[in-house]
Amino acid sequence: MLGWLCLTFSVAFGSALLPLISIEIFVIGLVTQQPGISWWWIGLAVALGQVLGKMFYFLAARGSLHLPAFLKRKEKKAKPLSPWRLKWRARLEWVRVRCHRHPHWMFGTHAVSSVVGLPPFMFTTVLAGLAGMSSWLFISTSVAGRFARFSVLAASPAAVAGWWVH
């Protein structure tokens, strides 16, 4: 069981860094193939792996983590921005200003996102960093929300099977 939980933690960590990996599909596959593993432990392993992986994005957005040179965009000669890019830059600045002005909005949005997934968790993770949310608040909200989401997901095959039997 410990091996499966370590693998679950690793896949969750990887899916947090590379969104192309679907932790949801992994969890469903795991609980159907290994029904003896408690949904509680699976939820905890996924929550911890996801939040640890997302901490890199959160800290980078906050400015606390400096990215290596190969991950940064190369400086280009400044050229005038198109009207479309100017419009989007203004919208992003508007969002950034609102996040700083109303930090409690970011808490609620991030909490909902960590459970439901809408708005995308990656998006709210970066916004939480840009808004200056405290690390402790980010970690506690994320772990609680991700635990709730993936515990329910891990318990769902057994619950559905119970419905069909009765």
Domain positions in the chain are 1-62, 84-107+114-165
- At 37 the three-state DSSP class reads coil
Q: What pTM, to 2 d.p., does this model score?
A: 0.81
Res 166 pLDDT > 60: no
Average pLDDT over residues 103-124: 88
Per-residue model confidence as pLDDT tens digits over 51-79:
999 999 999 988 888 777 766 667 777 77
94 neighbors 126 (Cβ within 8 angstroms):
no
Task: Please give the residue that has the higher pLDDT: either 50 or 83.
Answer: 50
Please state, rounded to an integer, the average pLDDT across all residues of the chain.
86
Res 86 pLDDT > 70: yes
What gap in Å lies between CA 46 and CA 78, rounded to an integer?
Answer: 43
